[in-house]
Amino acid sequence: MHLRRDDGRSPQRGPAPRAGSPRRPCQVGRPVPPLDDEPASRRRCPIQTPLIRQGRIGEFELIRCLRRATAIPHGVQASVLAGIGDDAAILKPRPGRVILATTDLLAERVHFDLAFTSYRQLGYKAAMANLSDIAAMGGVPRFLLIALALTSRETSRDVEAMYEGIRAACNPAGVAVVGGDMSASRTDLFLAVMVLGDAARRGALRRSGARAGDRLYVTGTLGDAQAGLELLQARKRTNSYLITRHLMPTARLKEAQHLADGRLASAAIDVSDGLAGDIRHICEESGVGCLIDARKLPLSPQLRTHARARKRDPIAYALSGGEDYELLFTVPPAKVARVEALIRRRLLRATPIGLITPRRQGLRLIGIDGSVRPLTAKGYEHRLG
Amino acid sequence: MHLRRDDGRSPQRGPAPRAGSPRRPCQVGRPVPPLDDEPASRRRCPIQTPLIRQGRIGEFELIRCLRRATAIPHGVQASVLAGIGDDAAILKPRPGRVILATTDLLAERVHFDLAFTSYRQLGYKAAMANLSDIAAMGGVPRFLLIALALTSRETSRDVEAMYEGIRAACNPAGVAVVGGDMSASRTDLFLAVMVLGDAARRGALRRSGARAGDRLYVTGTLGDAQAGLELLQARKRTNSYLITRHLMPTARLKEAQHLADGRLASAAIDVSDGLAGDIRHICEESGVGCLIDARKLPLSPQLRTHARARKRDPIAYALSGGEDYELLFTVPPAKVARVEALIRRRLLRATPIGLITPRRQGLRLIGIDGSVRPLTAKGYEHRLG
């Protein structure tokens, strides 16, 4: 963990951030119910002034605070030989497993808006998006590192809140926060999260394994996060389910484990850019086409209500809405019965939505009226929220 | 590798970057000699328009380009089961070794200035800073991931140049670029680099192992990078050695390996924040004090010339100048003879600069005049450059 003393006051030729620039309001009273976690006051740092202006002062206090805030979950303790506080974390791999590594960067005013995202939700979502990448590989997430670039607006309380959110995402999954970096940013807040996981040597799910004839499935429901973002942008708190789906998504770790353990899926990806965007990745990497049945896309009742009120097609949300973090996976014909059995036993909440086809047939969609046409919907373009 | 289609054009309430805002000049003709590497034209992407404005177009082309630009070095190929192009990289750990993980984030106008840093140098330095963290743990770096937040100013050629710089830092060290993330930023360019390495189970060098009586050593020379930054900021190209030390530092990987293999060091850290700042980390984590002899600090002739011209004390550069990326390490008395033998045999370029003392004696400095006083110099405050 590096905690740098950059304070952004060095001689600059670019414009300095205006000292009097209005602070974007940060939602203190959270728009969704608080996480079921121990009270923030238990881990509160003594430092409450804006962090970056502190310079050297408080550096060691902050390290101590973060060490407390990122206590290693019980199950993974033996694997963390050194966590926060050195040049690098020292981690023990599990014998016979391969390592999975992924990173995701979130930028203020591009991926999130502090007007309707609390720091805690932000930390939670940044962590969860990375856990979801590990899920999409059929892996078990184990360790997380986070690099923060803080503006002069963030206080140490805000930083703590971000870490609380990260911890709330990590703890149930048995993931340890083992390191990171903290430095200054001139205008916007940035979070770069890295997650390390592991998987059985031959159990990792690639994007490239889909073959013509495989059945296409997706977990959960689609389009909810996009609808939640619209509500937040319209300042409407009318549907907490959709808003929670946007602000605090859930990585499908258990589902991924069922698929990996039984070696049931031939390919997988998490739906972060929207179904239409992410199926393209599978098709491109696997060299195949697909036929998606719009009539089978899993839609929540809340999304249907939302779309009706906006006089929009709920299918469009399901195809183009991003950040649902559901798993999109393909199943070879010989394994469909086992997947269906898991679904019946409610061990896997997933829906068959189409087929993998030969590449020459391209990406196609069966519309609500039963007609087949090219899949033209685009993936999610923006991530503000 | 996620390559998101965020183009920063989503509805925003914050001010959008002005379309006509002047582009900070990026040094195309490099201020230091170009790296000895294959010509950039060999790996040039067909896309030369600003990346973020392209939206979806070119995404797969860019992935293909980056896969080419980040070809896996020979020695590490067998360990990379999947690199760029999936939800996570799949990596094979070496049996019996522990994993080291570190991350460092670089922000434009805080850590670097594109007016005097080329994109290639930026990529090189971002990678090297992380390799240095692995060196400071006595480890071998193996895999690198990079998350970029690009503004509308960066072209795909700029992105390629960053990757070339990363590769130029990684290839000689046998490090594979295995993944990353690419998204948009509203104002400044950000690079978050993560490096995974490994070390012998008990060979990792912690900050916390120093004991009173240990000898304190540092590799190379100190203060050069700070002097190089001053020259760049003053637009003086008078001393290419100092400028190169700032723009293109070298992680002390071989030195670290000698120390780790022989289990010669009790503690180590890389000098990224300046000697005075980084010795504090060792003292705090180890619960000890130190006595540094200013007369013994290793100074380059170039730094002495630079300091003389500026009528400044070269010792101040050595104590407070950051980003030298030298190794600061402590050696127990029983192992000093072996370290001195390595130095004599020129396998380790290091200088003894002081002693570890009991904690109650605090951090002290022997001045040029031989008088002992508290070590009051501060670490490096800014990283612009």
CATH number of the domain enclosing A66 = 3.30.1330.10
Determine the structural domain holding residue A311 and report its residue range.
215-374
Question: Is the CB of residue A194 less than 8 Å from the CB of residue A103?
Answer: yes
Determine the residue among A105, A137, A272 to mutate to test chain B binding: the one whose Cβ has the most chain B Cβ atoms within 10 Å.
A105
How many domains does chain B contain in total?
Answer: 2
Q: What is the pLDDT of residue B40?
A: 33
Q: What confidence category does residue B210 fall into, taking pLDDT thresholds of 50, 70 and 90?
A: very high
- Give per-residue pLDDT as tens, A179-226: 888 889 999 999 999 999 999 988 899 999 999 999 999 999 999 999
Asked whether the predicted pLDDT for residue B382 surpasses 90, the reply is no
Q: What is the dihedral of CA A105, A153, B376, B363, to 10 degrees?
A: -50
User: In Å, how far are A278, A345, A363 from A336, measured between CA atoms?
Assistant: 22, 14, 22
Q: What is the pLDDT of residue A239?
A: 83
In a domain? residue B158: yes
Q: Do A104 and B2 touch (CB under 8 A)?
A: yes
One domain, residues B177 and B71: yes
Secondary structure class of A199 (helix, strand, coil): strand
Query: What CA–CA distance (Å, rounded) separates A125 from A135?
Result: 15
Give the lowest-confidence range in A2-6, A98-102, A250-254, B224-228: A2-6
Question: For residue A244, how many other CB atoms are within 10 A of its CB?
Answer: 18
What residues of chain B lie within 8 A of the CB of A380, using their CB? 5
Give the lowest-confidence range in A294-308, A358-372, B224-238: B224-238
Q: What is the pLDDT of residue A64?
A: 65
Q: Do A12 and B186 touch (CB under 8 A)?
A: no
Q: What is the dihedral of CA B248, B251, B254, B260, to 10 degrees?
A: 180
Q: What is the pLDDT of residue A341?
A: 97
- Give per-residue pLDDT as tens, B101-139: 999 999 999 999 999 999 999 999 999 999 999 999 999
Q: Do A88 and B111 touch (CB under 8 A)?
A: no
Helix orientation angle between A156-170 and A119-136, rounded to the nearest 10 degrees: 30
Q: What confidence category does residue B59 fall into, taking pLDDT thresholds of 50, 70 and 90?
A: low
Helix orientation angle between B253-261 and B119-136, rounded to the nearest 10 degrees: 10
Asked whether the predicted pLDDT for residue B57 surpasses 60, the reply is no
Instruction: Give percent above pLDDT 70 in chain A.
Output: 80
Q: What is the pLDDT of residue A246?
A: 95
In a domain? residue A15: no
For residues A47-60, give the mean pLDDT: 42
Instruction: Please name the amino acid found at residue A69.
Output: A
Q: Least CB-CB distance to B88: which of A101, A109, A145?
A: A101
Burial of B22 (0-12, 13-18, 19+ CB in 10 A): exposed
Q: A46-74 as b/e, with b when 16 or more CB fall inside 10 Å? A: ebeebbbebeeebbeebbebbeebbebbe
**B179: closest chain A residue by CA:** A102
Query: What CA–CA distance (Å, rounded) separates A6 from A16?
Result: 14
Residue A283 phi/psi, 5-degree rounding, is -65, -45
For residues B156-165, give the mean pLDDT: 91
One domain, residues B143 and B225: no
For residues A351-372, give the mean pLDDT: 96
Q: Give B137's strand partners.
A: none
Q: Which two tokens stand for residue A35?
A: 């996480």
- Give per-residue pLDDT as tens, A268-293: 999 998 999 999 999 999 999 999 99
Q: Do B178 and A378 touch (CB under 8 A)?
A: no
Q: Do B4 and A190 touch (CB under 8 A)?
A: no
For residues B41-48, give the mean pLDDT: 35
In a domain? residue B101: yes
Q: Least CB-CB distance to A88: which of B90, B93, B137?
A: B137
- Give per-residue pLDDT as tens, A243-266: 999 999 999 999 999 999 999 999
Give the lowest-confidence range in A144-153, B14-23, B130-139: B14-23
Burial of A26 (0-12, 13-18, 19+ CB in 10 A): middle
| CA of residue A35 relative to chain centroid, distance | 17
Q: Which of A200, A225, A244 is the last residue of a domain?
A: A200
In a domain? residue A379: no
Q: Do A284 and B181 touch (CB under 8 A)?
A: no
One domain, residues A67 and A114: yes
Q: Do A145 and B103 touch (CB under 8 A)?
A: yes
Q: What confidence category does residue B196 fall into, taking pLDDT thresholds of 50, 70 and 90?
A: very high
User: In Å, how far are B198, B234, B276, B384 from B310, measured between CA atoms?
Assistant: 43, 12, 21, 20
Secondary structure class of B178 (helix, strand, coil): strand
In a domain? residue B246: yes
For residues B41-65, give the mean pLDDT: 44
One domain, residues A322 and A224: yes
In a domain? residue B161: yes
Instruction: Give percent above pLDDT 90 in chain B.
Output: 69
Q: Which two tokens stand for residue A211?
A: 């073959």
- Give per-residue pLDDT as tens, A114-123: 999 999 999 9
User: In Å, how far are A168, A221, A278, A321, A385 from A246, measured between CA atoms?
Assistant: 16, 13, 18, 10, 8
Looking only at the bridges linking them, the beta strands covering B350-357 and B289-293 are: antiparallel
Q: Do B10 and A110 touch (CB under 8 A)?
A: yes
Distance, in angstroms, between B337 CA and closest chain A CA?
A: 27
Asked whether the predicted pLDDT for residue B65 surpasses 50, the reply is yes
Q: Which of B149, B170, B200 is the last residue of a domain?
A: B200
Mean pLDDT across chain A, nearest whole number? 83
One domain, residues B222 and B349: yes
Q: Least CB-CB distance to B86: which of A87, A137, A277?
A: A137
Q: What confidence category does residue B64 fall into, taking pLDDT thresholds of 50, 70 and 90?
A: low
**B115: closest chain A residue by CA:** A13
- Give per-residue pLDDT as tens, B267-314: 999 999 899 999 999 999 999 999 999 999 999 999 999 999 999 999
Question: Is the CB of residue A173 less than 8 Å from the CB of residue B122?
Answer: no
Any idea what the CATH number is for the domain that residue B349 is in? 3.90.650.10
One domain, residues A366 and A233: yes
- Give per-residue pLDDT as tens, B74-101: 778 888 888 888 889 999 999 999 999 9
Instruction: Please name the amino acid found at residue A234.
Output: A
For residues B22-29, give the mean pLDDT: 29
Q: A107-117 as b/e, with b when 16 or more CB fall inside 10 Å? A: bbbbbbbbebb
One domain, residues A243 and A178: no
Q: Which of B200, B229, B257 is the last residue of a domain?
A: B200
Distance, in angstroms, between B132 CA and closest chain A CA?
A: 9
Nearest to B134 by CA among B197, B176, B208: B197
Q: What is the pLDDT of residue B61?
A: 58
Q: Give A355's strand partners.
A: A215, A291
Looking only at the bridges linking them, the beta strands covering B176-184 and B363-366 are: unpaired
- Those residues whose C-beta lies under 8 Å from the C-beta of residue A285, and which sit 6 or more positions away, are A206, A207, A208, A267, B85, B86
Does an H or E element contain A159, and which? helix A156-170
One domain, residues A263 and A181: no
Query: What CA–CA distance (Å, rounded) separates A115 from A118?
Result: 8
For residues B203-223, give the mean pLDDT: 95
Query: What CA–CA distance (Å, rounded) separates A128 from A195?
Result: 10
- Those residues whose C-beta lies under 8 Å from the C-beta of residue B80, and which sit 6 or more positions away, are B72, B89, B90, B91, B92, B143, B176, B178
- Those residues whose C-beta lies under 8 Å from the C-beta of residue A134, and which sit 6 or more positions away, are A100, A102, A140, A141, A195, A197, A251, A253, A256, B87, B88
What residues of chain B lie within 8 A of the CB of A87, using their CB? 102, 133-134, 136-137, 207, 268-270
One domain, residues B251 and B158: no
Distance, in angstroms, between B250 CA and closest chain A CA?
A: 16
Q: Do B382 and A9 touch (CB under 8 A)?
A: yes
Question: Is the CB of residue A304 less than 8 Å from the CB of residue A227?
Answer: no
Instruction: Give percent above pLDDT 70 in chain B.
Output: 80
Tell me: ipTM over 0.90: no
Query: What CA–CA distance (Å, rounded) separates B164 from A376?
Result: 35
Asked whether the predicted pLDDT for residue A69 surpasses 80, the reply is no
Residue A134 phi/psi, 5-degree rounding, is -70, -40
Question: For residue A359, how many other CB atoms are within 10 A of its CB?
Answer: 15
Q: Do B137 and A91 touch (CB under 8 A)?
A: no
Q: Least CB-CB distance to B136: which of A87, A100, A185?
A: A87
Mean pLDDT across chain B, nearest whole number? 83
What residues of chain A lie within 8 A of the CB of B53, using their CB? none
- Those residues whose C-beta lies under 8 Å from the C-beta of residue A308, and which sit 6 or more positions away, are A314
Q: Do A192 and B105 touch (CB under 8 A)?
A: yes
Query: What CA–CA distance (Å, rounded) separates A241 from B71?
Result: 44
Q: What is the pLDDT of residue A78?
A: 83
Question: Is the CB of residue A191 less than 8 Å from the CB of residue A123?
Answer: yes
Q: What confidence category does residue A65 fall into, taking pLDDT thresholds of 50, 70 and 90?
A: low
Query: What CA–CA distance (Å, rounded) separates B231 from B243?
Result: 7
Q: What is the pLDDT of residue A183?
A: 87
- Give per-residue pLDDT as tens, B305-361: 999 999 999 999 999 998 999 999 999 999 999 999 999 999 999 999 999 999 999
Count interface pairs A-B at CB distance under 8 A.
286
Q: Do B105 and A208 touch (CB under 8 A)?
A: no
Asked whether the predicted pLDDT for residue A1 surpasses 70, the reply is no
One domain, residues B190 and B228: no
One domain, residues A140 and A187: yes
Q: Do B92 and A104 touch (CB under 8 A)?
A: no
Asked whether the predicted pLDDT for residue B18 surpasses 90, the reply is no
For residues A55-70, give the mean pLDDT: 57
Secondary structure class of B106 (helix, strand, coil): strand
Determine the residue among B3, B151, B177, B194 to mutate to test chain A binding: the one whose Cβ has the most chain A Cβ atoms within 10 Å.
B194
- Those residues whose C-beta lies under 8 Å from the C-beta of residue A139, and which sit 6 or more positions away, are A100, A197, A198, A199, A204, A256, A260, B88
Secondary structure class of B354 (helix, strand, coil): strand
Asked whether the predicted pLDDT for residue B258 surpasses 60, the reply is yes
DSSP one-letter code for A95: T
Q: What confidence category does residue A351 fall into, taking pLDDT thresholds of 50, 70 and 90?
A: very high
Q: B248-278 as b/e, with b when 16 or more CB fall inside 10 Å? A: bbbbbbebbbbbbeeebbbbbbbbbbbbbbb
In a domain? residue A19: no
What residues of chain A lie within 8 A of the CB of B206, using their CB? 82, 86, 90
One domain, residues B168 and B250: no
Determine the residue among B54, B80, B86, B142 to mutate to test chain A binding: the one whose Cβ has the most chain A Cβ atoms within 10 Å.
B86
Q: Do A86 and B206 touch (CB under 8 A)?
A: yes
Q: Do A181 and B104 touch (CB under 8 A)?
A: yes
In a domain? residue A206: no
What residues of chain B lie within 8 A of the CB of A51, using their CB? none
